[in-house]
């Protein structure tokens, strides 16, 4: 007689996130594998710039085009233990050559005398479709700018979803290597396989996507980039994240025992809001996710339980990211020491630009297409909010673009003469003459899914998997995320009162984290205590945030409320000087914008600061 299912222990699937980008620390994979706390190991390597770098590498050597560190560093260190422990691996290290990555891993396994079943997910490269897309009507338009498809495209890759990964794991693969897929898919594919989730299980797919989103940036889920950075212990030994996932979609975020960092609701909440745009409609290939009602709760030391994600059927389109070349780019730095360092640095930068502009005219080069002068150490990124400083050391940073390479080679030559021509104390040219490189830019558009065919092979043999399962619409529409207004409770009414208010920076009342999506900056802000939420709702408005960031943001600012965790998400358009590869700013990804917003003055009753401090202690 079979045992009662209610008496059987619930299955928990444990997934470790070993990498947040190509270049992340080599300690992640060995740490997670050695912990004995994981069943699956996932890696996220790809960003838009990474794809263009990999494309260039493959042009030089056809066998390259993938994240080589995955094979030569991570898997070389852990492959034997991974196989011995029965850990299965999913990675998007394939870049623009997933087959080449699989071949390199197979060679490593053979060298170590290990039998390894390797799957490859491909089909994300849509470059062959570009000629017909240029002819279609209506024409392809960039998602943010509306610009037409550029001529000199380097890469064009659709963000695939989790179902091909699920199919590969279902077919018995021990390692799955993909090309471009959405970052969270490496985790969602594992969960779809482990729990048998289907395309119509939208709430579960949203929950699995959230689990993947939490660990896709490595240590950002375990204290990395935390607003209260000084409370995070043992940075050198910081733990990489683990999610312990249940079949109902709930999961616990933790880290290997004995490692540094910390896992609290505030830490996990910051990562949940990271780069998601509208939190009620986070668009992914497998699901449209709604995180507005997610709950995050402490469940033990360095253990945070997450539940409540909702979802609905995905759209009919894939997002495609292309990279293309538009002219050339160069960035140079000089260090200026002594009295009036900031003023000397600015004048030096202006002199270099003026001199080279004159030389450009003499040579018939034409003007710069763009310039950026920043004085690092003088709070240039704070604009009008920079505090007066008497710093006696500053770094001049000049970044420029031009249509002609020889023009920027001239610019690079004219930086060093500042060392003897102008400001006293000029030194530190940053390791020699600045180099000129192609200016690589990003272009994103939507492509109907019917035009893309994801392919799965296991040990080189193609496998069949269902590609046309119906997507069942969610039973209920997504809850609205923008500007949710609720009647205040008694405690909230107390919070609204600002009699006898004093002025404090926002950082005293909230945590924040910022990131990018193209030329859009995403800033998540979480109240340090629920009683502070009405005050933030009242004072941290779209108009005020737009005004505070006006020196950086030229487009629309939209505020979304995430009531489940007492937070707001601000989406700031045209905020990053073109964003990513196109931006000339020292902070092209908007990593510092949350910090700049946290300096905004807020009016608060002093009694509420005690609650803010209490929330900080709990978090």
pLDDT in tens, 190-208: 999 999 999 999 999 999 9
Q: Looking at the domain assignment, is residue 505 inside a domain? A: yes
**Beta carbons of 289 and 236 less than 8 angstroms apart:** no
Give the integer Cα–Cα distance in Å for 191 and 124: 21
- Contact yes or no for 217/134 (Cβ under 8 A): no
Q: Which residues lie below 8 Å from residue 429, measured CB to CB, with a gap of 6+?
A: 332, 333, 334, 415, 416, 419
- Within a domain: 457: yes
pLDDT of 474 over the 70 cut: no
In the predicted model, what is the mean pLDDT of residues 320-343? 94
Rounded to 5 degrees, what are φ and ψ at 3? -75, 150
Handedness of CA 20, 22, 26, 31 (dihedral sign): positive
> Are 612 and 511 contacting, i.e. CB atoms less than 8 angstroms apart?
no
Distance CA 74, CA 18 (A): 9
pLDDT above 60: residue 163: yes
Based on the fold, state whether residues 500 and 612 are members of the same structural domain.
Answer: yes
Buried b or exposed e, range 182-201, using 16+ CB within 10 angstroms = bbbbbbbbbbbbbbebbbeb
Q: Are residues 510 and 575 in the same domain?
A: yes
- Measured CA to CA, the distance from residue 68 to residue 74 in angstroms comes to 9
Structure confidence at residue 3 (pLDDT): 41
- Whether 303 and 340 map to the same domain: the answer is no
- Which pLDDT tens digit goes with each residue over 227-262? 999 999 999 999 999 999 999 999 999 999 999 999
Q: Is the pLDDT of residue 486 over 60?
A: no
Q: Do both 282 and 339 map to the same domain?
A: no
pLDDT tens digits for range 377-397: 999 999 999 987 789 999 999
Domain shared by 170 and 68, yes or no: yes
Three-class secondary structure of residue 600 per DSSP: coil
Residue 440 lies in a domain: no
pLDDT recorded at residue 489: 43
Q: What share of the chain is helix, strand, coil (3-state, %, to 5)?
A: 35, 25, 40
Is 260 among the domain residues? yes
Q: Nearest CA to 224 among 187, 266, 252?
A: 266
121 with 244, same domain: the answer is yes
Give me the mean pLDDT over the 128-153 stretch: 91
Burial of residue 609 (CB within 10 Å: 0-12, 13-18, 19+) is middle
pLDDT > 90 fraction of the chain, expressed in percent and rounded? 82
DSSP state of 25: -
560 within 8 A of 279, measured Cβ to Cβ:
yes
pLDDT given at position 399: 98
> In this structure, how many other beta carbons lie within 10 angstroms of the beta carbon of residue 405?
15
Q: Is 284 in the same domain as 336?
A: no
Q: What is the DSSP pairing of strand 317-337 with strand 436-448?
A: antiparallel
pLDDT recorded at residue 477: 40
Both 520 and 405 in one domain: the answer is no
CA dist 276 and 266 (Å) reads 17
Q: Is the pLDDT of residue 475 over 60?
A: no
Residue 485, domain member (yes or no) = no
Specify if 413 maps to a domain: yes
Q: Determine the average pLDDT of the residues in 356-364.
A: 98
Least confidently predicted of 55-64, 331-340, 507-516:
55-64
% the chain with pLDDT above 70: 93
Q: For the domain that residue 339 is a member of, what is the CATH number?
A: 3.30.300
In terms of domains, do 367 and 307 share one? no
Q: In the predicted model, is pLDDT for residue 455 greater than 90?
A: yes
Instruction: List, as one string, the DSSP characters of 469-519.
Output: ---PPPSSPPPP-BT------HHHHHHH--TT-EEEEGGGTEEEEEEEETT
For the segment 199-220, the average pLDDT, to the nearest whole number, is 98
Average pLDDT over residues 552-578: 97
CB 606 within 8 A of CB 500: yes
Averaged pLDDT for residues 67-87 = 97
Segment 397-442, tens digit of pLDDT: 999 999 999 999 999 999 999 999 999 999 987 678 999 999 988 8
DSSP per position, 332-391: EEEEEESTTHHHHHHHHHHHHHHHHHHHHHHHT----SEEEEEEETTTGGGGGGPPP---
- The whole-angstrom separation of Cα 400 and Cα 121 is 39
The structure tokens 């505030």 sit at: 266
User: Structural domain tally of the chain?
Assistant: 3
DSSP character at residue 15: E
Domain containing 529 equals: 490-618
In this prediction the pTM is: 0.93
Q: Name the helix (H) or strand (E) containing 311.
A: strand 310-312
- Is the residue at 482 inside a domain? no
Inside any domain, residue 307: yes
Same domain, 519 and 458: no
Question: What is the average pLDDT score of the chain?
Answer: 92
Residue 274 sits in the same domain as residue 421: no
Are 497 and 564 found together in one domain? yes
């Amino acid at each position: 007689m079979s045992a009662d299912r209610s008496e059987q222990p619930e299955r928990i699937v444990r997934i470790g996130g070993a990498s947040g980008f190509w270049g992340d620390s080599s300690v992640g994979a060995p740490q997670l594998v050695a912990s004995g706390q994981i069943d699956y190991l996932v890696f996220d390597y790809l960003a838009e710039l990474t794809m263009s770098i990999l494309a260039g590498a493959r042009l030089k050597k056809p066998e390259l085009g993938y994240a080589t560190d995955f094979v030569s560093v991570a898997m070389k260190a852990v492959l034997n233990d991974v196989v011995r422990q029965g850990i299965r691996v999913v990675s998007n290290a394939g870049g623009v050559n997933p087959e080449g990555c699989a071949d390199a891993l197979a060679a490593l396994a053979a060298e170590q005398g290990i039998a390894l079943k390797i799957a490859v997910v491909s089909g994300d490269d849509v470059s062959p479709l570009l000629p017909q897309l240029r002819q279609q009507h209506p024409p392809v338009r960039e998602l943010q700018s509306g610009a037409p498809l550029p001529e000199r495209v380097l890469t064009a890759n659709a963000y695939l979803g989790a179902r091909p990964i699920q199919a590969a794991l279902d077919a018995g693969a021990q390692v799955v290597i993909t090309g471009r897929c959405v970052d969270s898919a490496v985790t969602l594919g594992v969960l779809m396989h482990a729990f048998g989730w289907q395309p119509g299980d939208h709430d579960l797919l949203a929950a699995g996507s959230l689990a993947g989103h939490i660990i896709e940036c490595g240590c950002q889920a375990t204290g990395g980039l935390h607003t209260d950075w000084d409370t995070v212990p043992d940075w050198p030994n910081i733990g990489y994240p683990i999610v312990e996932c249940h079949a109902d979609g709930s999961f616990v975020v933790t880290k290997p025992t004995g490692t540094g960092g910390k896992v609290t609701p505030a830490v996990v909440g910051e990562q949940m809001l990271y780069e998601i745009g509208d939190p009620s409609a986070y668009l992914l290939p497998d699901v449209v996710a709604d995180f507005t009602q997610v709950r995050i709760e402490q469940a033990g030391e360095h253990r945070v339980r997450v539940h409540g994600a909702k979802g609905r059927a995905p759209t009919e389109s894939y997002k495609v990211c292309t990279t293309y070349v538009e002219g050339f780019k160069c960035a140079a730095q000089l260090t200026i020491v002594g009295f009036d360092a900031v003023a000397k640095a600015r004048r030096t930068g202006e002199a270099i630009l003026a001199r080279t502009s004159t030389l450009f005219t003499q040579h018939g080069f034409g003007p710069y297409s763009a310039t950026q002068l920043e004085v690092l150490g003088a709070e240039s990124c704070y604009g009008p909010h920079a505090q007066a400083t008497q710093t006696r050391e500053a770094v001049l940073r000049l970044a420029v673009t031009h249509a002609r390479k020889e023009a920027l080679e001239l610019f690079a030559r004219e930086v060093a003469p500042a060392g003897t021509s102008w400001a006293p104390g000029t030194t530190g040219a940053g390791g020699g003459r600045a180099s000129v490189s192609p200016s690589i830019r990003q272009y994103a558009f939507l492509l109907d899914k019917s035009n893309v065919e994801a392919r799965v092979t296991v040990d080189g043999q193609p496998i069949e998997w269902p590609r046309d399962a119906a997507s069942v619409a969610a039973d209920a529409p997504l809850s609205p995320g923008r500007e949710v207004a609720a009647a205040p409770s008694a405690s909230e009414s107390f919070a609204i009162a600002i009699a006898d208010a004093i002025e404090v920076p926002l950082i005293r009342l909230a945590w924040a984290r910022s990131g990018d999506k193209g030329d859009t900056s995403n800033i998540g802000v979480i109240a340090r205590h629920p009683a502070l939420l009405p005050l933030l709702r009242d004072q941290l408005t779209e108009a005020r945030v737009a005004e505070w960031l006006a020196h950086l943001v030229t487009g629309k600012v939209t505020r979304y409320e995430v009531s489940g965790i007492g937070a707001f998400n601000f989406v700031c358009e045209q905020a990053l000087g073109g964003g990513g590869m196109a931006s000339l700013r020292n902070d092209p990804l908007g990593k510092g914008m949350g910090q700049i917003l946290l300096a905004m003055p807020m009016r608060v009753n002093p009694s509420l600061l005690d609650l803010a401090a209490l929330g900080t202690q709990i978090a």
